[in-house]
Structure 1
Amino acid sequence: MNVSVWKRAGVAAAAVAVVTGVAGCQDGDGKAAGADKAQTQSLGDITKVIRTAYEKTSAAKSAKIRMTMELPTGLEGGGTMEMTGVQGWDPTVMDITVKGSMLGAAGAGGADSMRMITLGDVMYMDMGAKQAAEMDGKRWLKLDMQAASEASGDKVLSKTMAGGLENMNQDPAKQLALLLDSPNLKHLGAEKVDGVEAQHYKGTLTLEQMVAANKSLDVLSEKDRAELVEGVKKAGITAYDTEVWVREDGYPARMDLGMKSAQGTVKMGMHFSDYGAKATVQAPPAEETVDFFEMLKGLGAEGGQA
């Protein structure tokens, strides 16, 4: 498997991790769309709307998704990416098609789209027909991060990896639950999203609150957690904003997330539809799949390295 293909796979996997693990952050200096509109709901009314959206989203367990992301050029693989497909958060599954300049920049014959499937702790990436021809028909790359971390014998690594994988398919209901903890939750007015009337809300969370909510960091000691927070603050990240547009039926139509850093601002928008749509996601046929970590172990054995 050539280097450009590995790079393309890495860019795609990293992008999905960023998209679904950022957990909500908009440039604190930016002005939200509709921010000039008068506050028309009380805090009690706002909280009731967000809580209802949380309950409905949690019960739906799945939805069709359309996500767009822009990474600043200061980050490796910077560019744009769009993801469309279906996502389920109970159980954790995803079947999406990824496309955009970020994949094109990674090479692989100029291909600019890739299908990605996640089932629990395992991710599969379709590397295309050209790659299959070079790998005895195996076009799917399998990444089982949990199995690899457990094989390492490092319990801390294993727990951290498991948490990271959980974040890769972030439950939108959890995003709404976090928003309820915002000390300055605001209603920005009514707007149309994808042709549907919706109410626009925004709230800010501190970095400490976001770290506390990230279960993948539970393996850290209080000292390590404090150092992590301080390090992130030095990078210019101090608070996170989440925006959500809630439809009249109580379901979120859109969420805007982002993260401001020294390298620039990661911007992401997520549009949801067809809540409760059956997320029937299946693993690719075994005969068309190559296990990334098994391949690495084989290469290491050939090279005399662990």
Structure 2
Amino acid sequence: MLTNNVRRVGLSVAVVAALTSVAACGGSDDGGNKESAGSSVAKVDPIAALVAVQKKTGQAQSARIEGDTAMGSTMSMKQAGVMDWSDGITGSMKITYTGGTMADAMKQAGGSGTMEARYFKDGYAADMGEAMSQQTGGKRWISYSYDDLEKMAGASGAALKDQMQNSTPEQGVKSLLASGDVKKVGQEDVRGVSTTHYAGTVDVAALTAKNSSLSADELDAFKKQLADAGITTETVDIWVDDNDLLVKKTERGQMKTGELNSTVYYSDYGTKVSVERPPADQTVDFAELMKQQQGAAS
């Protein structure tokens, strides 16, 4: 019989997989400034440099991604995989949850602490492990439709759907551009790559269109995204290689549930990303899972 544990863990898997994609790739993508910055200008002016980085990183369309993220008491995790953002988000990530209330719930259900998430244009699937499959007729994959999540979660679900379908690794760059607070820190090596380090602080209340590549609508959406998470200020650092491609991004801030700390590395831009849907006979749809549980409880 399906239990509340199945629902709770299913929701935890959904959130972990969703947050992993958002943390790795960031927020909304290329509705902003399409201006091209010449490399000679980019080396002198931090704003022009970041506009160039935003454009080049967006055009790269895919990359290998590795990082770790902590979101207060809710969760901490490590992620590694590949993502393609040429037409929505597709890719696969290996996620290891290392702490927090979500990780506790998943481990109590017999999870190994590591799962795989596969991302598609219309949703994503997560491998919930052998232990949980014993409660779902041997099906170890849960499939999540963005449309279903939007219906279940209301306004927040609509925002998540939009972010999951349209995010790219440019978010940290856009944060600095929106803040107008950008400074060049200096030259540093990151994992053997020569980079230029830029940094700034995003003050949600003070965000303006000045020096920003964001449209008014994008800026409002970005403000709301941070405010909903309880973030009033966020410190963003990015490291950029000689080809104007993002190599590393860190974000730090205070959330309602504690501190946000995220570090993500990007490499192998342009790598081929091919993702297969899990076998149908090993997959259960999350919306159907909820209907089954409600029927068992009634």
Q: Give your verdict on TM over 0.5.
A: yes
d(CA) in 2 for partners of 1:179, 1:172: 13
Q: How many pairs are equivalent?
A: 268
For residue 94 of structure 1, the aligned residue among 91, 95, 108 is 91
Highest RCO, 1 vs 2 (Cα 8 Å, sep ≥ 6): 1
Distance 1:182 1:99, change over 3 A: same
Tell me the distance in 2 between the aligned counterparts of 1:293 and 1:229: 26
Structure 1, unmatched stretches of 5+, are 25-40, 219-224
1:201 shift after superposition = 0.3
CA separation in 2, counterparts of 1:250 and 1:232? 31
**C-alpha distance 178-212 of structure 1, shift in aligned 2 (>3 A):** farther
Residues 20, 114 of structure 1: alpha-carbon distance in 2 compared, 3 angstrom cutoff: closer
CA contact (8 A) 1:43 1:185 kept: no
Distance in 1 of aligned mates of 2:203 and 2:115: 35
- 1:16 Cα deviation after fit: 4.3
Tell me the equivalent position of 1:281. Answer: 275
Provide the residue aligned with 1:163 in structure 2: 159
1:159-210 deviation per Cα after TM superposition (whole angstroms, max 9, x unaligned): 7524312324631124423422332210011111111111100123331549
Relative distance call for 1:296 and 1:6 in structure 2 (3 A) is closer
Separation in 2, partners of 1:302, 1:135: 13
Hey, what's the Cα distance between the residues in 1 that align with 2:114 and 2:63? Answer: 22
Q: Does 1:84 align with 2:80?
A: yes
**Which residue of 2 is the match for residue 177 of structure 1?**
174
Segments of 5+ residues of structure 2 without an aligned counterpart are 28-40, 209-215
C-alpha separation between the residues in 1 aligned to 2:183 and 2:265? 20
Name the SS for the 1:135 alignment partner: coil
CA shift in 2, pair 1:110/1:135, >3 Å:
closer
The corresponding residue for 2:51 is 51
The Cα offsets for residues 14-63 of structure 1, whole Å up to 9 and x where unpaired, read as: 34444554759xxxxxxxxxxxxxxxx99952223212211111111111
SS at match of 1:275: coil
Q: Is the 8 A contact 2:17 2:117 kept in 1?
A: no
1-structure distance, mates of 2:81, 2:269: 13
120-129 or 287-296: bigger deviation: 120-129
Identity percentage of aligned residues: 24
Work out the CA distance in 2 between the residues paired with 1:284 and 1:243: 37
Report the alpha carbon displacement of residue 273 of structure 1 after superposing the two structures with TM.
0.5
TM-score with structure 1 setting the length: 0.74
Matches within 5 A, 1:5-84: 6-21=7-22, 23=26, 45-73=45-73, 76=74, 78=75, 80-84=76-80
TM-score (normalised: structure 2): 0.76
Q: Is the 8 A contact 1:246 1:254 kept in 2?
A: yes
Partner Cα distance (2:227, 2:171) in 1: 25
Whole-angstrom distance in 2 between the partners of 1:302 and 1:19: 31
Letter in structure 1 aligned against 2:276: Q
Q: Deviations over 1:121-165 (max 9, x none)?
A: 312110123333443331101111313545x7xxx93x7524312
Change (3 A) 1:166 1:7: same
Shift of 1:4: 5.0
Q: Secondary structure at the match of 1:180?
A: helix
Alignment counterpart, residue 240 of structure 2, candidates 228, 240, 246: 246
Distance 1:6 1:50 in 2: 43
Contact 1:121 1:165 in 2 (8 A): no
